[in-house]
Amino acid sequence: MTHDHVRIFDTTMRDGEQSPGAAMTMADKIEIARQLDAMGVDVIEAGFPAASNGDFESVRAVGAVLENAVLCGLSRAGPKDIERCAEAIKSAKRFRIHTFISTSPIHRKHKLNMEAHQVLDAVTASVTLARKFTDDVEWSAEDATRTERDFLKRCVEAAIRAGATTINIPDTVGYSFPDEYRDLFRDLIQSVPGADKAIFSAHCHNDLGLAVANSIAAVQGGARQIECAVNGLGERAGNAALEEIVMAFRVRGADLPYQTNIDSPQLMRVSQTVARVTGFPVQFNKAIVGKNAFSHESGIHQDGMLKHTETYEIMRPEDVGQGATSLVMGKLSGRHAFKKKLEELGYTLADNALNDAFQRFKELCDRKRHVFDEDIVALVDDQIAHGDDAIQVSRLRVVAGTEGPQTAEIDLTINGEPVWKTARGNGPVDAIFNAIKEAAPHEADLELYQVHAVTEGTDAQAIVSVRLSADGRSASARASDADTLVASARAYVAALNRLNALGSARISAQHSAA
């Protein structure tokens, strides 16, 4: 690895999945892993094998499909965790054990109930054991930025002496400022014996909105690996956003002369996949991959853009896989033109799936005056996400208004069997959700219901996000339709399918007597 090369370590499927409601199935993780691998991510942290049998199997399944990236599994410092991790990751061509322990005084006292010397012994023991399974061992000092500097140095030295090849200095609670984080790396690399034998890594959380800035500062201080997540997904306020870091290096190359292996035109597609799989929509003004990242409404901005794009754009949309919104598709467009448009947007569908998508596109054209690229993306993502679900919405009829009662009639197909139910509610959406509960009884609670428009105008498609929880687990999903109530029903059913796949919903169909 050259001195200016920075490894991109993706933790979307591990730290990102720890976001409440962002649970991913094995199939979801495999889909994301294939895209990350193709995009050029160096290390993919696929999960925490000791956490559950499901996580163990998902890590193993991801490892089997990787062609280039290193598979990484996370492990606490205990022998059982490390051994379980080692068993899961050996399915990959190249693999890494990532073991960690807290080092800060507050964590040692309140979380671990351990003295400093006990933590130091655990560092040596955990890395030594991990090295018996692989030469690629990463060690992390959890809550490093709130750890006494001298003690942190002793821990880093012990980890390197025991055989760690990557040293991660995480800003676990998003506490640090860029200048102090940069100086921390410089000090560790310059003063810890044997530091030249390891790659130093940054893992930053975004509690103060500084995760990307801190990650870049760490590289300036000597780090050569950044741990990040697509769309900035992660616990609390999230992790450093992979796409923002990659494009910061690319746009500001004169000041940040560092290289990554990321094929940046694939960023948008990966972002959309993660949003669809997790049910976490990307905010419109999100840097790099947001819907409005390359939009210009101001007349002054539009005038400048017409004269020269660099007046208001520091990068090109195509550099990140963003296509400009256009009106080229409509109800007179043919199947061939539709297929070409899908390819431009990054989709390749088999014939049957293409026919289904084209039919839905035609139906949308009849209901909506203008069809934008975003409409097509929402339509196809909806089909990909929910086309094979066990529970499907077949028909919906809703009665609403000031006089009431608000009533919903819904036809569901559950494992191929039709089920019809009617229910009332406090408003049309409540009536719909009650009808679904009648048709597919379950004990899940609604944690989130959110609606936003795909494009502008009263005829815009609605994207509805729903999060359900049961038995301590959450599942999120979203669906789109020009009818907000239809999208609401589909999103609720999609979340129910996800929860059922996680084994938490316990759904039993109640057939209509009709």
Q: Determine contact, residues 439/395, Cβ cutoff 8 Å.
A: no
Residue 217 near residue 243 (C-beta atoms within 8 A): no
pLDDT value at 97 more than 60: yes
Mean pLDDT of 254-263: 95
Query: If you average pLDDT over residues 188-202, what whole number do you get?
Result: 97
Report the range of poorest mean pLDDT among 115-119, 150-154, 171-175, 469-473. Answer: 469-473
Q: What is the Rg, in whole angstroms, of the alpha carbon atoms belonging to the chain? A: 25
Write down the residue that tokens 């997540």 correspond to. Answer: 229
Report the alpha-carbon distance of residue 437 to residue 440 in Å, rounded.
Answer: 5
Q: Check residue 307 and give its pLDDT.
A: 62
Domain residue limits, the chain = 7-278, 294-324, 326-384, 389-501
The yes-or-no verdict on residue 303 having pLDDT over 60 is: no
Q: What percent of the chain has pLDDT over 70?
A: 91
Q: Which residue has the higher pLDDT, 345 or 467?
A: 467
Whether pLDDT at 136 is above 70: yes
Looking at 167-171, 185-189, 313-317, 440-444, which range is the least confident one? 313-317
Return the exposure string of 248-286: e unless at least 16 CB atoms fall within 10 Å of the residue's CB, then b. Answer: bbbeeeeebebebebebbbbbbbbbbbbbbbbbbbeeeb
Q: What is the mean pLDDT of residues 62-67?
A: 97
Query: What is the average per-residue pLDDT within 214-231?
Result: 98
Flag whether pLDDT at 140 surpasses 70: yes
Distance, CA of 498 to CA of 209 (rounded, Å): 31
Which class is domain 7-278? alpha beta
8 Å CB contact between 378 and 345: no
With CA atoms as reference, report the closest residue to 329 among 294, 295, 293, 368. Answer: 368
Q: ∠ CA(80), CA(24), CA(16), 5° rounding?
A: 75
pLDDT on residue 508 = 57
Q: In what order do the strands lie in the sheet with 417-425?
A: 391-399, 406-414, 417-425
User: Over the range 318-338, which residues count as b (16 or more CB within 10 Å of their CB) and which as e?
Assistant: ebbbbbebeeebeeebeeeeb
Residues 6+ apart with CB under 8 A from 107: 142, 143
Mean pLDDT taken over the chain? 89
SS3 call for 324: coil
Residue 98 backbone class (left: φ over 0; alpha: ψ -120 to 50; beta: rest): beta
- Report the C-alpha gap between 23 and 499 in whole angstroms: 9
What is the end-to-end Cα distance of the chain in Å, rounded? Answer: 69
Place of tokens 């900035």: 232
Band of pLDDT at residue 50, cut at 50, 70 and 90 = very high
| Cα gap 129→117, rounded to integer Å | 18
389-501 fold: Double Stranded RNA Binding Domain (3.30.160)
Q: 12: alpha, beta or left, given left = phi > 0 and alpha = psi -120 to 50?
A: alpha
Lowest mean pLDDT among 172-186, 246-260, 293-307, 485-499: 293-307
Write the secondary structure of 471-486 as one string of H (helix), E (strand) and C (coil): CCEEEEEEEEECCHHH
Q: Are 92 and 70 in contact (CB under 8 A)?
A: yes
